[in-house]
């Protein structure tokens, strides 16, 4: 037979003979251990693909300036990662066909192996931007107590390289539209915010369905919102919050992110908007996956400790809450204002943000940043 053979191309002899049941080595094969192994092997294959896509996206952003064509590639690959993540979440339904009692037939044989030792998943977290100083204490300690020296060296080396979070921050920091020919956008934005909040206060005070106590509560809440707006517009206040861990982007990068989201309908900003939205989507889907995983572990183990020695469900729930990467994108909606209240952009800036066909072939400010 000429040409490559299907089984040889996929190396099925290796893949289909890689399910070595630990329970069989101890005299009695547990039926459900086969499913347990295969589903986790499938996870690792998908993790490999996600890490491969992230590496390519990181390479696109390494230069600091991204052509529109390359931005399209990054967006497409993030969309692919999203689809893979949906498969990862759905796969938990398959694992949950293993009942807690059936799991106990082989569970103790797995000690001290643990999902924490998935180096590829740790690689993905680091590539995204979840470096060790952002992790909970138990997570940091497990790097030293649960990993081999070779794996720890690999992850330590990865920690020294720029992550997608750091590269996105650098890329946003270079956005050219925030100071355009003397137009001070953020002063105009601040005035629009004051006008919006004044209107909100008037609505609250004139609402006949609210009691005085309810009005006081809502006005206090609105005043807190005003403080949040002020902290974003004041660089020193923003940097203080960033030092406390409430933001990860630089002040300039966060303002650029806000500008992109406010004016996403402008043609040249739509690709950056899609890219930032996909970063938030990927972050959210990994949080969903962690939450489903934590719930599954609680269902399978109850309050027992995990095979790797962690507190099981409690540990996984804590990492679900803490291991977010693009936290700035999650907070962005606080600072959005209605389209009708947005400052009107000068004509020259509008032209820079739009696509115009003519004799001009030189790249414009927004073609790269």
**For 273-314, what is each residue's pLDDT tens digit?**
999 999 999 999 999 999 998 888 888 877 655 444 444 566
Q: Which residues, 6+ apart, have CB-to-CB distance to 27 below 8 Å?
A: none
Q: What tokens were used for 178? A: 């925030």
Distance CA 125, CA 121 (A): 6
Query: With a threshold of 0.85, does the pTM exceed it?
Result: yes
Q: Kindly tell me if the per-residue pLDDT of 319 is higher than 80.
A: no
State mean pLDDT over 170-180: 80
pLDDT-wise least confident of 42-56, 80-94, 216-230 = 216-230
Residue 79, domain member (yes or no) = yes
Cα Rg, the chain, nearest whole Å: 25
- The CATH number linked to 315 is 1.20.58.480
18 within domain boundaries? yes
Structure tokens at 249: 């982007």
Asked if residues 163 and 129 have their Cβ atoms less than 8 Å apart, the reply is yes
Query: CB atoms < 10 A from the CB of 215, how many?
Result: 15
Bridge partners, residue 180, by sequence? 183
Tell whether 64 is covered by a domain. yes
| Section 194-199 average pLDDT | 89
Task: Kindly state whether residue 326 falls inside one of the protein's structural domains.
Answer: yes
Closest by Cα among 36, 22, 21 to 296: 36
How does strand 183-184 pair with strand 179-180?
Answer: antiparallel
Give 361 or 169, the one with higher predicted confidence: 169
Phi then psi for residue 67, to 5 deg, are -70, 155
- DSSP type of residue 303: T
Closest CA relative to residue 128, chosen from 61, 188, 45 = 61
**Is 228 within a domain?**
no
Mean pLDDT value of segment 125-143: 87
Question: Does residue 235 lie within any of the structural domains?
Answer: no
Whether residue 236 has pLDDT greater than 80: yes
Residue 367 reports pLDDT greater than 60: no
Task: Examine residue 222 and state whether it is found in any structural domain, yes or no.
Answer: no
Residue range of the domain that includes 138: 6-176+246-330
pLDDT value, residue 135? 85
Closest CA to 245 of 308, 327, 321: 327
324-345: average pLDDT: 91
In a domain, 227, yes or no: no
What's the CA gap between 296 and 97, in Å, rounded? 11
The count of domains in the chain is 1
């Amino acid at each position: 037979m000429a040409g490559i053979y299907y089984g040889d191309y996929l190396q099925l002899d290796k893949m289909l003979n890689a399910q070595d049941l630990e329970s069989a080595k101890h005299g009695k094969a547990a039926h459900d251990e086969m499913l347990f192994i295969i589903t986790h092997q499938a996870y690792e294959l998908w993790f490999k693909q996600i890490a491969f896509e992230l590496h390519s996206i990181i390479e696109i952003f390494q230069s600091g300036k991204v052509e529109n064509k390359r931005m399209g590639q990054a967006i497409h690959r993030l969309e692919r990662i999203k689809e893979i993540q949906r498969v990862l979440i759905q796969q938990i339904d398959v694992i949950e066909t293993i009942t807690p009692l059936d799991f106990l037939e082989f569970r103790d044989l797995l000690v001290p192996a643990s999902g924490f030792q998935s180096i590829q998943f740790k690689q993905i977290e680091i590539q995204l931007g979840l470096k060790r100083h952002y992790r909970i204490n138990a997570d940091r300690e497990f790097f030293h107590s649960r990993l081999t020296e070779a794996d720890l060296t690999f992850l330590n080396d990865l920690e020294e390289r720029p992550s997608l979070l750091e590269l996105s921050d650098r890329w946003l920091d270079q956005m050219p539209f925030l100071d355009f020919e003397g137009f001070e956008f953020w002063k105009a934005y601040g005035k629009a915010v004051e006008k919006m909040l004044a209107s909100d206060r008037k609505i609250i005070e004139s609402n006949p369905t609210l009691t005085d106590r309810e009005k006081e509560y809502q006005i206090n809440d609105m005043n807190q919102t005003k403080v949040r707006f002020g902290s974003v517009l004041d660089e020193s206040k923003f940097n203080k919050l960033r030092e406390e861990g409430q933001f990860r982007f630089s002040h300039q990068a966060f303002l650029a992110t806000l500008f992109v989201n406010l004016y996403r309908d402008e043609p040249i900003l739509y690709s950056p908007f899609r890219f930032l939205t996909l970063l938030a989507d990927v972050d959210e889907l990994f949080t969903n996956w962690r939450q489903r995983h934590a719930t599954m572990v609680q269902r399978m183990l109850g309050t027992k400790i995990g095979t790797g020695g962690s507190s099981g469900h409690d540990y996984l729930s804590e990492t679900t809450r803490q291991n977010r990467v693009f936290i700035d994108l999650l907070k962005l909606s606080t600072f959005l204002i209605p389209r009708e209240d947005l400052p009107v952009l000068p004509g020259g800036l509008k032209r820079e943000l739009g696509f115009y066909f003519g004799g001009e072939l030189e790249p414009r400010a927004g073609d790269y940043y």
